[in-house]
Chains A and B, each alone.
Chain A
Amino acid sequence: MSGSTLEIRNLHVEIEGKEILKGVDLTIKGGEFHAIMGPNGTGKSTLASAIMGHPKYEVTKGEILIDGKDVLEMEVDERAKAGLFLAMQYPSEISGVTTSDFLRSSINAHREEGDEIPLMKFIKEMDNAMDYLEMDKNMSQRYLNEGFSGGEKKRNEILQLMLLKPAIGILDEIDSGLDIDALKVVSKGINKLRNENFGCLIITHYQRLLNYVTPDYVHVMMQGRVVKSGGPELVDRLESEGYEWIKEEFGIEDETVGE
C-alpha cells in the first residue's frame, strides 16, 4: 500500500471546558478522498483543528495516529512534518511577513538544514503554482493574508497545499466564499494532487465542490459524531432532501453539539 494512513479513534474534544466531539472514528488512507458534510455547529472544524493541534482544542479521550505514530504527542510543526496539512476555514493574517517569505520558510521547514530550496527554484515553483491557480503574482509580495479577500485567502491555502504536497490534506470549507470560476480553479488545484500517495478530507456544505472533486467516501456529522457514512451518492441525497431524514433516522432533534 502506498501513501499514509490517518486513523482517528473515539476522539473526544473539548473547547473551553465544553465537549464538542463526542467520539469520532474515521480512517483516511493514501489515495482516498473523503468528504465530511453536516449542518453548522456540528463539530467539523473542531475535528480538523484537533487533528492539526490548534491550541484552544483539548483532546480528552481517543487517539489520532498517522502511520501508527501518535499525532497527539506531536507539536503542531511536527504534525506538519509527519505529513498533515490543514487548509483552514479562517486563515490567520500575519502583518509584516510576505506570503513569499512564508512559503519559502514553509518549504524549507520540510527540508534538511543546509538543503534549503535554491531561491530561483523556489520562485519558479511558486510562480508555476500561482499560474495554475490563476493568482495575481503580486500577491506573493503582500503580507500573508492581510487584506486578502475571502476567495484570495482560499486560493492561498491551496497554493500552500500544492507547494507542500502533504500526505494527508484536510480542507475546511475551501469552497466557501468562492465564485464559480474560483471554485473550478481551486478544484483543479486539488485534483492535480490526486494520486495514490495523497489522502484528502474535504469539509464542505455544498455539492458544487464535490461535483468537481469526487469523493470516494462521504460522512455526515451531527452532535459531534459521524452519524452516517456512504459513497458519493449520499451527496446527491443530501442536496435534494437535506438533513431531516438523517435526523429522523437517528431520532436527533437538535443536530448541533448542544449541552
Chain B
Amino acid sequence: MSAEVTTRFDKAYIEAYSDKNNEPDWMKAFRLTGFEKALTLDMPKPDKTRITRWDFDSFEHDAVKSNAINDLSELPADIQKFVDLKEKQNLLILKDNHLIYKHATEGLMNNGVIFTDLNTALKDHPELVKAYFMTDAVTIDEHKLTALHAALVNGGAFVYVPKNVVVEEPLQAIFWQDQKDLALFNHVIIVAEENSELTYVENYLATHDETKAVANVIAEVFAKDNAKISFGSVDNFAHGTTSYINRRGLAERDAKIEWALGQMNDGNTISENITHLLGDSSVCYAKAVSVGRGDQIQNFTAKIVNYGKHSDGMIFQHGVMKDKATAIFHGIGKIVRGGTKANAEQESRVLMLSKDARGDANPILLIDEDDVTAGHAASVGRVDPVQLYYLMSRGISQQEAERLIIHGFLAPVVNEIPIKAVREQLTDVIERKVN
C-alpha cells in the first residue's frame, strides 16, 4: 500500500469507533488485533495481477448517519428497482453503512431466525457473532486487507437459521453506497444449522461513480450437516471504487452451498470465492458471471476444496470482456488426501468483444487422492461467426444477435438469481455494461 491507510488511523480512533457503536469488548479487542496485524502484514498477491499501484487507501471510513425510511417508496428509483415491491419481503437496506430499513416476516421471527445488520447482531447476539466472525472461514491474518477488514469493519449483515428450519422466502440485503468517498468494510455472516435451508441475495450498489473509494467485503457462509444455502449476489461498485471481495463457504456433511455471483463492478477488483467441502457428500456449485469494460482490471478466483468423501464441487465462470478491460479467471479444484470418490469439475469461459480487451482462463486441478473424478473446460474466444450467421439469417441484426449471444452466455448464472427484481436488475446491468 502506498499512502498507508495505517498511518491515517490509530488505536484511539478504532477504540472510539467501537465505543460509539456500543460494541462488545471482544469486538473492540478484535479490531485492535486486526489493526496491529495490518501494520506488518503484506498485501494479498493475487496470481497474475499486479496490484501494487491499486488505490486501497483513498477513502473515508465513518459516514454521517443515514436517516431510516419507513416505506420503500421513499427509496430513490435506482434503488427501488432492486426490490420486489408487491410483497413485503425479508429485506435489509444499509445506506452508507447504516441500517435504514428492515423487514422480516412474522414466520421468520417465530422460527427463531436472526436476520439483521451486523451492528445490531453484535449487540443482541454477541456470543453467536463471536463464534463465527473471522474464526473458521476467513482469518484475520491472511494478509493486510483481511487484517484491515477486522480493524475497520463498518457494516454488514448477520443471518442465523436454527436447526430444522426451512426459510422459503429469500432474505435480501442491499448495501448502498451513497456518500462518494465512503469505504465499505462490509461483513456478512450466514449460518445454517443442521437440516436448515435458506436463500440469501445481496446487492452492492453505488449511486456515484468516479470518486475514489474502497470496498473491502467479506462473506462467511456456514452450512452445517444437511443444510442448504443458496447465495446470490450482484456486485456493482462504481468505476472509482477499488474492491477486495472475499466470499467463503464451509459445508459439512451432506450440506450444499450454491453460489450465483454477478460480478459487475466497474472498478479494479479482486474477487475470490472459496468453498471448503469439509463433510462427506457435501456439495458446492460455484457459478459466477462478470463483464469487464473500460480500463478496469479484475482478478477472479473460484476455488473449491474437497475434503469429504463423495463431496462434489462444480465451478462455472463465464466472463465477457470489452474495451480495454483486463481480467483473469482462476478456477481451482482441489481434492485433498482422503477425499475418496470426490468430484471436482469446472468450466471457465471468456468471451472477448474487442481486440484491446484481455481475458484469461486459468484452470487448475490439484489432486492428492487417487479414487476421484475431475474435469475442466476452459476457453477464451470471440463470438462465434457461425452462430451470428444463424441468428442473422432470420433477419436479426448483427448488434441484436451479439446481444442475444452475450446474454445467453451469461444466462446460466442470471437465471439462478432467486429474486425476480434482482434478476432483472442484473440483466439491466449486463445490458448497460455490454452496450
Contact = CB atoms under 8 A, between A and B. Distances in A.
Given A105-B396, A109-B395, A97 B405 contact: yes
A80 B409 contact: no
Nearest to A105: B396
Given A55-B385, A92-B386, A105 B404 contact: yes
Given A55-B385, A55-B386, A92-B387, A86 B393 contact: yes
Interface string A69-111: 0000001110111000110100110111100011001100110
B408 A77 contact: no
A103 to B, nearest CB: 8
Interface string B352-391: 0000000000000000000000000000000011111111
A110 B396 CA distance: 8
Main SS class of interface, A: mixed
A77 B398 contact: yes
B389 A53 contact: yes
B400 interface: yes
B417 to A, nearest CB: 14
Nearest to B387: A92
Interface in A20-60: 52-56
- Residue of A53, A79, A101, A106 most packed against chain B (CB within 10 A): A106
Interface residues of B, number: 25
Given A55-B386, A92-B387, A94-B387, A75 B392 contact: yes
A238 to B, nearest CB: 29
B411 interface: yes
- Residue of B388, B396, B409 most packed against chain A (CB within 10 A): B396
Interface string B255-297: 0000000000000000000000000000000000000000000
A243 interface: no
A164 interface: yes
A109 B397 contact: yes
Given A105-B400, A109-B400, A95 B409 contact: yes
Contacts, number: 83
Sorting the interface of chain A by its residue count into under 10, 10 to 19, 20 to 34 or 35 or more gives 20 to 34
A80 B400 contact: no
B391 A164 contact: no
A102 B389 contact: no
A80 B401 CA distance: 14
A91 B389 CA distance: 10
A76 B400 contact: no
A160 interface: yes
B184 to A, nearest CB: 32
A143 interface: yes
Given A75-B392, A77-B392, A94 B397 contact: no
B396 A77 contact: yes
